Amino acid sequence: MSSAEQPESSTERITIIRNSPEDTQTRQIVVYLDGESHGELMYGDSVTLSVAPGPHTIRVDNTWNQQELKLEIRTGEQLKFLTKSVAGKFSWFLLGFLGFGPINVSIEPAAQIPKA
């Protein structure tokens, strides 16, 4: 079958955004889908990934901390997630005083992607 005859790519998509006002806006967050790196997000960035229906694992890693999320995507579904790096009160002190400190990363479902 020639490339012109191949079916269109799937409509299943996973979008991960990083724009929470709670974010420290420091350090990159590396996004992995099923163990494969799909880039780094700085504050304000997003990435949209086309996926096949079925089970998948998203992992986000800011080099201090990582979090994994297992999910199932159905045919035609488009899922949206929010990732962020968040510092605790003591971490803010270290960030201000030393310029670095432990920062937790998280990923959670997003109701909708805010307009940029």
pTM for the whole structure = 0.77
pLDDT score recorded for residue 96: 52
**Torsion 78-108-25-100 (CA) sign:** negative
Pick the CATH number of 13-109 from 3.90.550.10, 2.60.40.1120, 2.120.10.80, 2.70.50.60: 2.60.40.1120
pLDDT for the residue 100: 53
Q: What are the structural domain ranges in the chain?
A: 13-109
What does the alpha-carbon distance between residue 94 and residue 64 come to, in Å, rounded to a whole number?
14
At 11 the three-state DSSP class reads: coil
Q: Three-class SS of residue 59? A: strand
Supply the pLDDT for residue 4: 39
- Nearest Cα to Cα of residue 56 among 79, 76, 82: 79
Instruction: Going residue by residue through the chain, which has 116 residues, state the pLDDT in tens, using 9 for 90 and above.
Output: 333 333 345 689 999 999 999 998 888 999 999 999 999 999 999 999 999 999 999 999 998 889 999 999 999 999 999 999 988 665 545 555 455 556 889 999 997 544 44
Count CA atoms closer than 13 A to 21's CA, side-chain side: 1
